[in-house]
Chains A and B, each alone.
Chain A
Amino acid sequence: MKEIASMHHVEFSYDMEEEESSPMSTKALNNASFTLYEGEWLAVVGHNGSGKSTLAKLLIGLMFPSSGEVHLFSERLSEENLWETRSRMGIVFQNPDNQFVGSTVQDDVAFALENNGVPYDMMVKRVQEALEQVKMKDYINHEPHHLSGGQKQRVAIAGALAMHPELLILDEATSMLDPQGREEVIEIVKKLRSEINLTVLSITHDLEEVLLADRILVMNEGQVLMVGTPQEIFQQGTELEKVGLDLPFALRVSELLRATGVELQGNHMTEEELVNELWTFHFSK
């Protein structure tokens, strides 16, 4: 498998950067290492303050580690290759308000393309396409600051998609979307992955989204606590609750059912699996 990005023993603390405020006096990242492979979808989970956003910021070179290394597209990330590297990524942060730069939705989505010297005709086409993907084409001439919370998030996502990125980094990018909106974004990502070899790193609290990822990385107190497939990670059960995480719906309901005395064979992560077992062992007889 080809590596797209990796961190090697990365340390970071906000105190050392003067103009940055510090979330805590301890290290925001403490000896963090992981590898992201081409074409995979990695979900990053962890409680608030566990270091997820810091990880994302270091990965896109908004800040540099105090020790350790960040690698992207087989090169060590540095001031020199920062812009070239970023032009290959699409980035969406939690709160879109801080990200808008254009005076219209269209300008905003075009901004990064223009910076990267994408020719005008192609730019117009890509902007249209991206806005269509997130169902915001009707708002093309609106002012971004005058949109609703969820509409802003859609536009921010369009901005990242228009870049035609090789690596898409989403930091809580759907936190203000309604359930259907979330599903739509997940569908867009799935579709892109089937068309191009897109790699996705998604920081999220949405467990049902997490279940769709190829692998999950659990952050805790600035460290990478574990990395594994959803199966492997959710097998830890209550261990996860200790670090502030929730369990998927099917697992929670399974636990509740067991507590009422219903016997269940397996540990089911998806609703489908649970329905199947209930049907086979309890209803079909």
Chain B
Amino acid sequence: MDISLQQVGYLYAKDSPFEKRALQDVTATIPSGSYTSIIGHTGSGKSTLLLHLNGLLKPSEGIVQIGDTMITAQTKGKKMKEVRNHVGIVFQFPEHQLFEETVEKDIMFGPINFGVPKEEARARAHELVKLLGLPDDVLQKSPFELSGGQMRRVAIAGVLAFKPSVLVLDEPTAGLDPKGRKEIMELFHHLHKTESLTTILVTHSMEDAARYSDRILVMHEGTAVMEGTPEEIYSLEDQLHSFRLSVPRSVRFQRQIEKMSGQRFDRIALTEDTLAQELAKAIARKGERPC
């Protein structure tokens, strides 16, 4: 499902004394099947943008196109609900959306609400609990008895239960420990490939954006200011700095070494593995040269 935004603007509390512009003239394309990361400074409009992608907000200006559905300021609520059928969203701190007495009921709630037969919804809940690496006995527990990391996984299962074709993730790993963070990021990556999803990730981790995505969109003061592959975006360090962003740590390290040694690496070190390989190559080259 291709997604495109054409000159999208959004004002919170429009026409009230508290009116606040959050998006301005955003134009961007998210091709079907891509894994797009959205990066940007605090308050740059990332979360607001995401809310447009699954029909929770209507643009005040411009057009949001999700597959065949076109959403403008005039679009009616019913059409927005249809969009939500295809686009699943995991919020910052999704555990706040948990409310049922048991984990099983919580995961089943969404699908049942959208007309999936009860037994099918239950079977799906059981599958998802496994997929997310939660113990089986978790199903009959209250979501509030779980640890933060487990609650996060349950909330994610609740979104996956819709079988969305577009998965929208707003800092899905904030507050998780490094191991949990890695597991969840790997899981999304796996789902992205096996379920042919279109994945949109908002993250503050330049490392995650570099490692997992094939496209990056940069937001700054409510506008989309850069769009490209991770290689392209992270090659433009100065420009990123002007938007109060930076390059992944491995790239920063690469630049230091390049400056110091006077030789350029063959490619940009988007991950630590690439960095180590390129460093080893550079050291070997240095060794061959006569002093």
Residues of chain A touching chain B, judged by Cβ–Cβ distance below 8 Å, are 21-24, 46-49, 94-95, 97, 143, 146-151, 154, 172, 175-181, 205, 207, 244-246, 249, 252-253, 256-257, 259-262, 271, 274-275, 278-279, 282-283, 285
CA distance A177 to B92 in the complex (A): 12
Given A249-B272, A252-B272, check contact A47 B204 (CB 8 Å): no
Please determine whether B256 and A261 come into contact, CB atoms closer than 8 angstroms: no
Please determine whether A178 and B260 come into contact, CB atoms closer than 8 angstroms: no
Given A48-B176, A49-B149, check contact A151 B279 (CB 8 Å): no
CA distance A94 to B149 in the complex (A): 13
Please determine whether B171 and A149 come into contact, CB atoms closer than 8 angstroms: yes
Q: Please tell me which one of the listed residues A48, A147, A176, A282 contacts residue B286 in the complex, with CB atoms under 8 A apart.
A: A282
Please determine whether A260 and B246 come into contact, CB atoms closer than 8 angstroms: no
Please determine whether B47 and A149 come into contact, CB atoms closer than 8 angstroms: yes
CA distance A285 to B18 in the complex (A): 64
Please determine whether A179 and B148 come into contact, CB atoms closer than 8 angstroms: no
Please determine whether B246 and A179 come into contact, CB atoms closer than 8 angstroms: yes
Please determine whether A21 and B176 come into contact, CB atoms closer than 8 angstroms: no
B123 within 8 A of A: no
Q: Please tell me which one of the listed residues A21, A271, A279 contacts residue B145 in the complex, with CB atoms under 8 A apart.
A: A21
B211 within 8 A of A: no
CA distance A40 to B254 in the complex (A): 34
CB distance from A237 to the nearest CB of B (A): 15
CB contacts under 8 Å to A, within B4-59, are 12-13, 18, 20, 40-43, 46-47
Q: Please tell me which one of the listed residues B256, B273, B282 contacts residue A275 in the complex, with CB atoms under 8 A apart.
A: B256
Measured between beta carbons, the chain A residues less than 8 angstroms from B20 are: 146
Measured between beta carbons, the chain B residues less than 8 angstroms from A262 are: 279-280, 283
Residues of chain B touching chain A, judged by Cβ–Cβ distance below 8 Å, are 12-13, 18, 20, 40-43, 46-47, 92-93, 96, 142, 144-150, 171, 174-181, 204, 206, 244-246, 249-250, 252-253, 256-257, 260-261, 272-273, 275-277, 279-280, 282-283, 286, 291
Please determine whether B276 and A260 come into contact, CB atoms closer than 8 angstroms: yes
CA distance A279 to B96 in the complex (A): 49
Measured between beta carbons, the chain B residues less than 8 angstroms from A94 are: 175
Given A48-B147, A181-B42, A262-B280, check contact A176 B12 (CB 8 Å): no
Please determine whether B286 and A177 come into contact, CB atoms closer than 8 angstroms: no
Q: Please tell me which one of the listed residues B171, B261, B283, B291 contacts residue A176 in the complex, with CB atoms under 8 A apart.
A: B171
What's the A-B contact tally at a CB cutoff of 8 Å? 141
CA distance A207 to B181 in the complex (A): 14
Please determine whether B146 and A23 come into contact, CB atoms closer than 8 angstroms: yes
CA distance A175 to B171 in the complex (A): 10
Please determine whether A151 and B178 come into contact, CB atoms closer than 8 angstroms: no
Given A21-B142, A244-B177, check contact A178 B41 (CB 8 Å): yes
CB distance from B100 to the nearest CB of A (A): 14
Please determine whether A175 and B174 come into contact, CB atoms closer than 8 angstroms: yes
Measured between beta carbons, the chain A residues less than 8 angstroms from B244 are: 178, 180
Measured between beta carbons, the chain B residues less than 8 angstroms from A48 are: 147-149, 176-177, 180
Measured between beta carbons, the chain B residues less than 8 angstroms from A146 are: 12-13, 18, 20
CA distance A49 to B151 in the complex (A): 11
Please determine whether B253 and A176 come into contact, CB atoms closer than 8 angstroms: no
* Most chain A CB within a 10 A radius of its CB, from B20, B43, B142, B275: B43
Measured between beta carbons, the chain B residues less than 8 angstroms from A47 are: 149, 177, 179-180
- Chain A to chain B contacts (Cβ below 8 Å), 22 pairs: A21-B142, A24-B147, A95-B93, A97-B96, A143-B18, A146-B20, A148-B43, A151-B43, A172-B175, A176-B174, A177-B42, A178-B42, A180-B41, A205-B177, A244-B177, A249-B250, A257-B276, A261-B280, A262-B279, A274-B253, A275-B260, A283-B282
- Closest A residue to B206 by CB, please name it: A179
CB distance from A48 to the nearest CB of B (A): 4
CB distance from B172 to the nearest CB of A (A): 12
CB distance from B45 to the nearest CB of A (A): 8
CB distance from A58 to the nearest CB of B (A): 17
CA distance A140 to B286 in the complex (A): 56
CB distance from A18 to the nearest CB of B (A): 13
CB distance from B246 to the nearest CB of A (A): 6
CA distance A245 to B177 in the complex (A): 7
Q: Please tell me which one of the listed residues B18, B47, B272 contacts residue A256 in the complex, with CB atoms under 8 A apart.
A: B272
Please determine whether B171 and A21 come into contact, CB atoms closer than 8 angstroms: no
- Closest A residue to B244 by CB, please name it: A180
CB distance from A179 to the nearest CB of B (A): 6
Please determine whether A271 and B256 come into contact, CB atoms closer than 8 angstroms: yes
Measured between beta carbons, the chain B residues less than 8 angstroms from A252 are: 272
- Closest A residue to B176 by CB, please name it: A48
Measured between beta carbons, the chain B residues less than 8 angstroms from A49 are: 147-150
